[in-house]
Amino acid sequence: MQNNNLYTLLVRLDKSFLNFLRISIFIVMAWIGGLKAFHYEAEGIVPFVANSPLMSFFYKNADNKVLNEDQKTVSEYTLYKNPEGKMVTKNINWHQNNGTYSFSYGLGTMIVIIGILMLLGIWFPKLGALGGALTFFMSLTTLSFLITTPEVYVPALGGDFPTSEFGFPYLSGAGRLVLKDIMMMAGGLVVFSDSLKKVIKPTAG
């Protein structure tokens, strides 16, 4: 009997769980979107944007190839990466000219707006449906980086022992972060579906 009461209570909490999902996505969107206003975060997304056929046109130097210290041909942006917590003037100047920061400001604003739409979906289903749909498509774009961005996989750097642990499917730190967006995609679809039900049948919510 107690189990039945517990199950009944959990079923009745489904609305609260869905609202918690909305709040969770809002927190992620608002926090990460807000960080796009800072240099280190803007520079961190350069490999994704520069290699994306959907987004690379936002950068001035996205397609430039140059020789590094080892006389290997690399993408120009790899020579101007600031380690997190370190600010190098020549690198900052390169990113300013590249459009790194201005693009990041726009992207961050869009992400924050999507997060707000998700949160407002608690009270306004139409806005929630829009936020859910945008979350899905944003996550789909992010997941495309698994195809277009070399940095999402462990590089073959060699060492003292031969190893085959590089390339697909060995995700780097950047790749592991990107893969997590599949959960955001699923969350966006769940919120979209729930919000749409409330739009079609307002009394259902």
Average pLDDT over residues 140-155: 96
What is the predicted pLDDT for the residue at 130? 98
In 3D space, the residue among 141, 187, 149, 186 whose CA is nearest the CA of residue 171 turns out to be 149
Nearby residues of 193 by Cβ (< 8 Å), 6 or more positions away: 132
Average pLDDT over residues 185-200: 96
Domain ranges of the chain: 16-204
What is the predicted pLDDT for the residue at 27? 98
What is the 3 state secondary structure string of the chain?
CHHHHHHHHHHHCHHHHHHHHHHHHHHHHHHHHHHCCCHHHHHHCHHHHHCCCCCHHHCCCCCCEEECCCCCEEEHHHHHCCCCCCCCHHHHHHHHHHCHHHHHHHHHHHHHHHHHHHHHCCCCHHHHHHHHHHHHHHHHHHHCHHHHCHHHECCCCCCCCCCCCCCCCCECHHHHHHHCHHHHHHHHHHHHHHHHHHHHCHHHC
Q: Is the pLDDT of residue 204 over 80?
A: no
- pLDDT class of 156 with cuts at 50, 70, 90: confident
Q: Is the pLDDT of residue 103 over 90?
A: yes
**What digits encode the pLDDT tens for the residues 57-90?**
999 998 898 877 777 788 999 999 888 888 899 9
Q: Is the pLDDT of residue 6 over 80?
A: no
User: Quick check: 145 and 53 in contact, CB under 8 A?
Assistant: no
Distance CA 180, CA 152 (A): 12
| Encoded amino acid at 61, one letter | N
Nearby residues of 7 by Cβ (< 8 Å), 6 or more positions away: none
